Amino acid sequence: MPKHHAWIEILIAEDVSVEEVDPSQVRRWDASDQRASRIFGDGWYDEKRSTLLIVPSAVVRAERNVVINQVHPGFRKLRATKPKPVVWDQRLFR
């Protein structure tokens, strides 16, 4: 395991705009060439439709990832904590 992993918490104001992608909205969103998901994401970013975009995880299908648009006006409403070290559970190494 990497020895220098860290994590932060992102604090989100209640009025920050959020968009969520349903995989059925983007045909071939999980294709290995990433073309469809990049086209969708680039459009979302350039149009500044929302501060946050919740997307399906291509790696773990049951999970979601959050993408942050740092050029959206709502970005200034986000706050990050100071980085904290990841403490790996020793059971992972057995």
Q: What is the distance in angstroms between the CA of the first residue and the CA of the last residue of the chain?
A: 13
Q: Indicate whether 58 pLDDT > 80.
A: no
- CA 66 from centre of chain: 2
pLDDT of residue 60: 83
In angstroms, the CA 9 to CA 52 distance is 15
Of 60 and 8, which is predicted with more confidence?
A: 8
60-84 per-position pLDDT tens digit: 878 999 999 999 999 999 999 999 9
pLDDT tens digits, residue range 16-53?
999 999 888 899 988 999 999 999 999 999 999 999 99
37: how many CB neighbours lie within 10 A of its CB? 19
Cα angle value 68/11/50 (rounded, 5°): 30
Q: 13 with 77: CB under 8 angstroms?
A: yes
Confidence (pTM):
0.82
